Amino acid sequence: MEGTEETTIKWRTASDPKKAGWLFSQDLLYSDRESNSLFLSMDIRKDKEEQDQTLVKFYKRDNVRWTSPLLCKLQGDVATGSGVDRHMMSTVIFKLMSGFHINLG
């Protein structure tokens, strides 16, 4: 399903909330798939605080289209491909739930 004006109209006018939610998520997923990818590179040889600062800097960038495709690279590791992207997303979710190692003082 392509993210188009037609699908945007469909989710806004759908009478069933579940269908509207599904159409909305599809519209978000596909709306920016042709735009430039977001690129996140983290050096796993650095300490935890520096790794966490990399994640925060990535998040705090201006004018980011968060629905764009994401490409991740782990410096210091030979792993490539979608497994690295999944690992980084899991890491970010874990950090959001457990906290970051950043000294603010």
Is residue 22 included in any domain, yes or no?
Answer: yes
CA pair distance 19, 1, nearest whole angstrom: 14
Taking 90 as the threshold, does the pLDDT of residue 74 lie above it?
Answer: yes
Q: How sure is the predictor about 88, in pLDDT bands with cuts at 50, 70 and 90? A: very high
Please answer whether residues 71 and 37 qualify as being in contact, where contact means their C-beta atoms are separated by less than 8 angstroms: yes
Q: What is the mean pLDDT of the chain?
A: 85
Global pTM exceeds 0.75: no
Q: For residue 74, what are its two tokens? A: 């782990």
Residues 18 and 61 placed together within one structural domain of the fold: no
CA pair distance 54, 100, nearest whole angstrom: 11
Number of domains in the chain: 2
Is residue 105 included in any domain, yes or no?
Answer: no
Range of the domain at 55: 38-98
**pLDDT tens readout for residues 59-73:** 999 988 887 888 999
CA pair distance 1, 25, nearest whole angstrom: 11
Residues 44 and 67 placed together within one structural domain of the fold: yes
Residues 89 and 46 placed together within one structural domain of the fold: yes
Can you give the pLDDT at residue 3? 46
Residues 51 and 94 placed together within one structural domain of the fold: yes
* Partners of 73 in beta bridges: 41
Residues 46 and 79 placed together within one structural domain of the fold: yes
**pLDDT tens readout for residues 27-39:** 877 776 777 889 9
Terminal Cα distance for the chain, rounded: 48
Residues 49 and 87 placed together within one structural domain of the fold: yes
